Every structure is written in C-alpha cells, then in structure tokens.
Amino acid sequence: MTAALHVGIAEQGKLHALAGDHQEALRHYREAIRLAVASGSPEVCFRHYTQCVLESLERLAAWDEILAFCERVQAHYAANPPPHELARLDLAGAHERRGVVLLKRGDAPAARAALALAVEHAGAGRMPLAEELLGWLRRGMQVDARRVQQQQERHRYFIVEREAVRSERAIPLPKALGAPLR
C-alpha cells in the first residue's frame, strides 16, 4: 500500500506541475520522497521524484536551490567515485543541469565548463542537450534563456509530460500534510 501511496502522491504532484502550480507540486513530491524512503522503496523511486522536484524548481527559476543540489551531487561523487554506468550518468546529469541553470542565469563561461563535464562523464552521444548547448558556446554563440528552454523541449529534457502522467493513480495530499520545499 505504501508504494501505491507515494506513487499516487507523486502523480498528483505531476498534475499540479502540469497546471503550473509548482509550489503544490513540490509539496506532493516532498511527501512522496519521504514515504518512498521510509518504506524502503527502490532507489529508482527516490531518484525519479528528485528529478520531478528539480524540474519544478527550474520552472520556478529557483536557481540557487538547483545549484546547491548539483553541488551536493558533485561532492558526493568526488568522495565516492561513480562505481557504475548509472552513477556516471547521474553525475553527468548533475553537471548538465548545472550548465543549463548557469546558462539561463547568463553565466556562459561557467555553463560551458559544466556542460563539458556532463559530456565527458556521460560519453559522446549520451547527452544531446548538453552537447548542442556546448557546441553553440564553443562557437561563441549567444544563448539566452528562451533558446535554452526551446532546446530543452526539443530534446525532451523535462520528464513531467502530460502523456506520461497517470491521473487515475493521483492521490491529493490534505493541506496539513507535506510542508512546501521553499
């Protein structure tokens, strides 16, 4: 029952995200993460919900929170080198997200370095968004937030998409449960 509960709460969060209510989405995702961890659910659940959180934070332009998360991931892997492919892709994903955020903030040099690390850790052909943005930056192109957003959509960077949400599984949280993340 606990798995169905955290999955349902996360699905409700996704519905809120699709409606543009990212604060409410964050409240649901946080509770889904708490329940998944408390019940000993597979790590894939926690990872998926964390990606949903980061996506809503990005939609809210909560750059500092996203960058802090990316720094924690990078620090973790600096102390514990990635032991397998999934971990390498996790680290590459943190570098890509950092690069995207830095680019949206207007820090092209730092974004270029982060995107280069993403491609390096993932390997060629594994991070098409990072590779495209990095190529533009290496050619000296100006890349604004709108253009980054367009490429994110084109490369299906965002995981919360209408066709993937299972609304029949959604379970709304009572207002008193699950404090907002911000």
Q: Using CB atoms within 10 A of its CB, is residue 84 exposed (0-12), middle (13-18) or buried (19+)?
A: exposed
Cα 57–chain centre separation: 8
pLDDT of the residue at 160: 95
The predicted pLDDT at position 174 comes to: 78
User: For the chain, what is the radius of gyration of the CA atoms?
Assistant: 17
**Which pLDDT value is given to residue 179?**
52
**pTM over 0.85, yes/no:** yes
Q: Residue 140 has what DSSP assignment?
A: T
* pLDDT computed for residue 181 by the predictor: 44
pLDDT of residue 176: 65
pLDDT tens-place values along the chain, 182 residues long = 577 889 999 999 999 999 999 999 999 999 999 999 999 999 888 889 999 999 999 999 999 999 999 999 999 999 999 999 989 999 999 999 999 999 999 999 999 999 999 999 999 899 999 999 999 999 999 999 999 999 999 999 999 999 999 989 999 987 766 555 44
- DSSP three-state, residue 27: helix
Q: Which of 19, 3, 40 is nearest to 169 (CA)?
A: 3
Q: Pinpoint the alpha helices (H) of the chain.
A: 2-18, 22-38, 43-59, 63-79, 85-105, 108-122, 128-138, 145-154
119 phi/psi in degrees, rounded to 5? -65, -40
